[in-house]
Structure 1
Amino acid sequence: MQVDMHLKSKRRPMQFLQLIFFLLDILVILAMCYCIIGKNWMKPTDIRSDIARYECYAVAFAHGDGAFQHFPSRQCAPILGSPPKATTDSVVASLKKIGAPGFIVQFVASQSPEKPYHYLPLEYPILALLPFALAAIIANAIYYQIAFACLMALIAVGIYLVLLRYKSRTSALSFALWMMIGYLLNRFPDTATGRFDLMPGALTLIALVCAMKSRWNWAFAFLSLATFTKFYPVLLLLPFLIAQQQAPRYATLKWNAWRRLGPLATFSLTSIAIVAISLLLSVAGTLNPLTYFGDRPIQVESFQASLLWLVNGMDISHLSVVYTFGSLNVLGHFGSLISLVNNALLAVGMLYLLWLQWRGKLSLPMATILLLMLVTLTGKVFSPQYVYWLFPLAAYAMGEQRGWIITWAAFSLLTVWIYPILYETVHAVILVAYKPIFWQVVAIRNFLLFTMCIYAYGAATLHKPEQTRSTSETLSRAGKPILTSTDSGPIATISSI
């Protein structure tokens, strides 16, 4: 009797503490949704926004590209003003030129974008249509923006809950902080819910969680889904593959054993199925996103743009600013050389990262976030929404260390300062490039990311690799599942930077 009373007295504080944490999570989630939805809440669709362009894609897919004429002329202008390189007619002509079988030529010729279900986005792979179309289904044209913003907010909530369940409350709170940081400046940076980049970020996080729980087939399947939402996750295939091959369950198998190749086969088959569906709908639409990015010039917020500004004497008069591909871009002397150098840095950085991971100096979470940081840094484009590729993985890999939390918060703050704050100070987008402070803030943000990459690479290089441990779940003394040290990784143990 006394034992039972003693146990009950110990449970009451624990239950009260759990209730407090539950209420804290609810408050954080509500605050995060309030902050990231921002001015999209209860606001009719802004025809100049990216969401309005997504609506054009959704309706054109469902009804054919003739649906563009039913929208205000400015709403679909970014799409109509960027004619695709590959059209149904050009693909048919190419097939005839190489002597393709007649039934293939006829099949492609039947994929007229004027017909329903044959118009695909110019710059995005096919799975990007899912949130576009879902928002169109649940809301009419006037309130499409509200529906889309709510969908993205739900994905943000999902990321918070995944981090809470499979990592820690500290990581989840770090993610929420980085998402809400702009509200501290009395701004509602609706970038998170005004773009769809949280979707591939969430799918990539789920793939990482599955990998850390040794569910490798699911991990590679989700990585494939993320890739065909936005192409960048395909670069994570190699870090995932190295981690899978080094996992204890595969380490003792022969290099060509089927079990070793099974997860990679899962990725391949999933990708083939998605590509096949895309080709069945539109061969031209499948090809266009592959050429879209390669044609883009240097975007003004990228690290390459900062370098271009510096080598031209920090004088904007030596640069040419243009509005193309739906963004503000910059041209100038040494632009081609800077792009070439950054491509070389990307190649060398990826190879060195994979070598560090192979040597056991980088965990999979750290290899994943560091590779995405490298890709973001060396790319020609660094739009503000790209931070939502980074935040979920950064919260998982680094969100428990005070130094990283503060650094990522500063990175988020600088990004919000660039957009929307500086952009809101001009009445025409192109004018923001002629504000001297714009280039300074962009350079500070980009060199902060550069410093973060250098620090992480240096710390990994100096780290002494530990013996390989299992990534499978073990039980803590409290009886709750935790992950072994492979989860946190050698670099994630650094407490400050």
Structure 2
Amino acid sequence: MTPPQARTLVTAGSRVAVLPLLALGAVWAATRLGMLVLLVRDDIGFGGVSREVYLTYAHWYGELTRGTFPVDDPTWQYPPGAGALFLAPALVPALTYFQAFVALALLADAAVTVALARAGGIRGGGVWMWTGGLPLLLHIPFARYDVQVTALAVLALLSLHRRPWLGGVLAGLGATVKLWPALALLGTPRGHSTRAAWASAAGAVLALLAVLSLGLSHPLDFLRQQGGRGIQIESLGGTALALIRLSGGEEGVEFRYGAFEFTGPHVAAVACVSFLLTAAALVFLLLWRVRAKRWTTATPFDAALCAVLLLTVTSRVISPQYLIWLLGLAAACLTSPHTGQRPVALLLLPAAALSSLAYPLLYDDVITVTPLGCAVVLVRNALLLTAALLSARRLWTATT
């Protein structure tokens, strides 16, 4: 029989273990309820955050159910796997399309929370980074499909250590939806892990593309809509153009390709610089992969966050939902005690808050390029640029 004193210690230990779980559950439920309330009201700042779902996504859903990907639609810029996500609300026929979409986004959010808690512990920084960081974006996460994509990338990273093949499958599925989850495999250790992960990723990509191509026509039409993208007003290049406009330049703003973009005499030059910076980031990542010699359990997490940060800040587009990706990857980093990305993760929190300040709260100022709107985006982008450079330096010094 268990002595009374031992039973008391076991009971006390169980109570201590339950308290953080209850705290996590309470914070998650309260913050998600607040996000849902904002989504239902959808009347703060530049309204219409949710119309992306019940107008654009629902329209695409209608075309997909008729057996074709959107054709000649400049706003359709997503790989074929995105079609599966836009069709997913059909799995919940009792709800409207909008309700089912939000419910699935909430389910993906919960899955990431549980996975991070299991990987890094309930008291770990990873699960709290995600639980507390996502609400900084207000209701945007539940009105975009990036939470689902981020869930695939985070689950892929957390699976790589024990089951490289499973991590590869999840990363491959994510890549068919929005390309960037493929970067989750950048930091896999050389040898069997890399071969297993990359082979299973390739298999998953080919399998899903084959299924979608058999069921839907025009799966590659999205490629036609990529080349014409300009400089979005919230991107790093957009900040440079905003400063030129405030200094008396002739730059204008137009709604094209589903986003507000700059027009004017300096756009082509800024787009060229953006392309060159993206190329430089890819060269750096390739060089790092070749030169890296020391791997820890945190290296795949750190490399994925670094890669996505570098390609985000050099992109012609930085939409607020991109912060969902970065928060998820930073949370994965914080599940490991060996990560070198803790300062980077801390920089992403104010960047997320400023992103929701720029959109939707002050989006009128951002569109019209007022000093206030420009200042908010400038500070946000400065934080992202600092985070990207710091992430690259810490990844390089920790592994080469």
Q: TM-score range by the shorter chain?
A: 0.7 to 0.9
Are 1:203 and 2:143 matched, yes or no?
no
The equivalent residue for 2:45 is none
Partners of 2:25 and 2:391 in 1: CA distance: 33
SS at match of 2:261: strand
Deviations 1:224-274 (A, max 9, x none): 10011112223444x14xx2425xxx3xxxxxxxx9744333222221122
The equivalent residue for 2:329 is 393
Partners of 1:269 and 1:351 in 2: CA distance: 26
Q: Is the 8 A contact 1:204 1:233 kept in 2?
A: yes
Larger radius of gyration: 1
Q: Is the 8 A contact 1:361 1:461 kept in 2?
A: no
Sort the Cα spacing of 1:404 and 1:12 in 2 relative to 1 into closer, same or farther, 3 A. farther
Which residue identity lines up with residue 367 of structure 1 in the other structure?
A
The equivalent residue for 1:373 is 309
Deviations 1:65-114 (A, max 9, x none): 8xxxxxxxxxxxxx7xx8348xxxxxxxxxxxxxxxxxxxxxxxxxxxxx
Partners of 1:54 and 1:305 in 2: CA distance: 26
Sort the Cα spacing of 1:327 and 1:42 in 2 relative to 1 into closer, same or farther, 3 A. closer
Equivalent in 72, 75, 94 of residue 83 of structure 1: 72
The equivalent residue for 1:245 is 190
Equivalent in 265, 268, 271 of residue 199 of structure 2: 265
The equivalent residue for 1:13 is 12
The equivalent residue for 1:179 is 134
Q: Is the 8 A contact 1:28 1:176 kept in 2?
A: yes
Are 1:353 and 2:285 matched, yes or no?
yes
Larger RCO (CA within 8 A; separation ≥ 6): 2
The equivalent residue for 1:417 is 357
Partners of 1:261 and 1:298 in 2: CA distance: 37
Q: Is the 8 A contact 2:330 2:345 kept in 1?
A: no
Which residue identity lines up with residue 332 of structure 1 in the other structure?
G
Deviations 1:194-236 (A, max 9, x none): 01011111101111111132x1111111111001111222344
SS at match of 1:318: coil
**Structure 1 unmatched runs, 5+:** 66-78, 86-120, 183-188, 251-258, 466-497
Deviations 1:15-68 (A, max 9, x none): 11122122112102202321332333489xx79811021111112222368xxx
Q: State the 1:140 CA deviation.
A: 6.9
The equivalent residue for 2:114 is 161
Partners of 1:415 and 1:209 in 2: CA distance: 27
Q: Is the 8 A contact 1:361 1:460 kept in 2?
A: no
Q: State the 1:459 CA deviation.
A: 3.0
SS at match of 1:245: coil
Q: Is the 8 A contact 1:58 1:136 kept in 2?
A: no
SS at match of 1:294: coil
For residues 56-135 of structure 1, the aligned pairs below 5 Å read 56-63=59-66, 83-84=72-73, 122-135=76-89
Equivalent in 295, 314, 325 of residue 228 of structure 2: 295
Higher mean C-alpha deviation, range 10-19 or range 33-42 = 33-42
SS at match of 2:145: coil
Which 4+ stretches in 1 moved above 6 angstroms?
A: 399-402
Equivalent in 385, 394, 398 of residue 459 of structure 1: 394
Partners of 2:130 and 2:40 in 1: CA distance: 22
Higher mean C-alpha deviation, range 316-325 or range 154-163 = 316-325
Partners of 2:206 and 2:67 in 1: CA distance: 25
Which residue identity lines up with residue 383 of structure 1 in the other structure?
S
Sort the Cα spacing of 1:231 and 1:464 in 2 relative to 1 into closer, same or farther, 3 A. closer
Which residue identity lines up with residue 223 of structure 2 in the other structure?
L
Which residue identity lines up with residue 147 of structure 1 in the other structure?
A
The equivalent residue for 1:28 is 27
TM-score (ref. length: structure 2):
0.86
The equivalent residue for 2:172 is 224
Partners of 2:342 and 2:195 in 1: CA distance: 39
Partners of 1:60 and 1:151 in 2: CA distance: 20
SS at match of 2:177: coil
Quote the RMSD (CA, aligned, Å).
Answer: 2.9
Q: State the 1:464 CA deviation.
A: 6.9
Partners of 1:446 and 1:38 in 2: CA distance: 29
Q: Is the 8 A contact 1:368 1:393 kept in 2?
A: yes
Partners of 2:347 and 2:49 in 1: CA distance: 36
Partners of 1:220 and 1:286 in 2: CA distance: 23
Q: Is the 8 A contact 2:152 2:181 kept in 1?
A: no
Sort the Cα spacing of 1:444 and 1:227 in 2 relative to 1 into closer, same or farther, 3 A. same
Q: Is the 8 A contact 2:344 2:390 kept in 1?
A: no
Which residue identity lines up with residue 228 of structure 2 in the other structure?
D
The equivalent residue for 1:50 is 52
Sort the Cα spacing of 1:180 and 1:416 in 2 relative to 1 into closer, same or farther, 3 A. same
Partners of 1:265 and 1:457 in 2: CA distance: 27
Which residue identity lines up with residue 128 of structure 1 in the other structure?
A
Q: State the 1:331 CA deviation.
A: 1.9
Sort the Cα spacing of 1:201 and 1:298 in 2 relative to 1 into closer, same or farther, 3 A. same
SS at match of 1:286: coil
Q: Is the 8 A contact 1:55 1:144 kept in 2?
A: yes
Are 1:334 and 2:333 matched, yes or no?
no
Partners of 1:328 and 1:157 in 2: CA distance: 32
For residues 400-439 of structure 1, the aligned pairs below 5 Å read 403-423=343-363, 432-439=367-374
SS at match of 2:77: coil
Q: Is the 8 A contact 2:292 2:399 kept in 1?
A: no
Q: Is the 8 A contact 1:128 1:228 kept in 2?
A: yes
Deviations 1:264-295 (A, max 9, x none): 33222221122222332345x21211232222
Partners of 2:194 and 2:109 in 1: CA distance: 34
Sort the Cα spacing of 1:402 and 1:38 in 2 relative to 1 into closer, same or farther, 3 A. farther
Q: Is the 8 A contact 1:122 1:289 kept in 2?
A: yes
Q: State the 1:403 CA deviation.
A: 4.1
Q: Is the 8 A contact 1:123 1:293 kept in 2?
A: yes
Q: State the 1:373 CA deviation.
A: 0.5
Kindly tell me the number of residue pairs found equivalent between the two proteins. 383
Partners of 1:374 and 1:25 in 2: CA distance: 31
SS at match of 1:301: coil
Which residue identity lines up with residue 315 of structure 1 in the other structure?
S
Sort the Cα spacing of 1:458 and 1:404 in 2 relative to 1 into closer, same or farther, 3 A. closer
SS at match of 2:219: helix
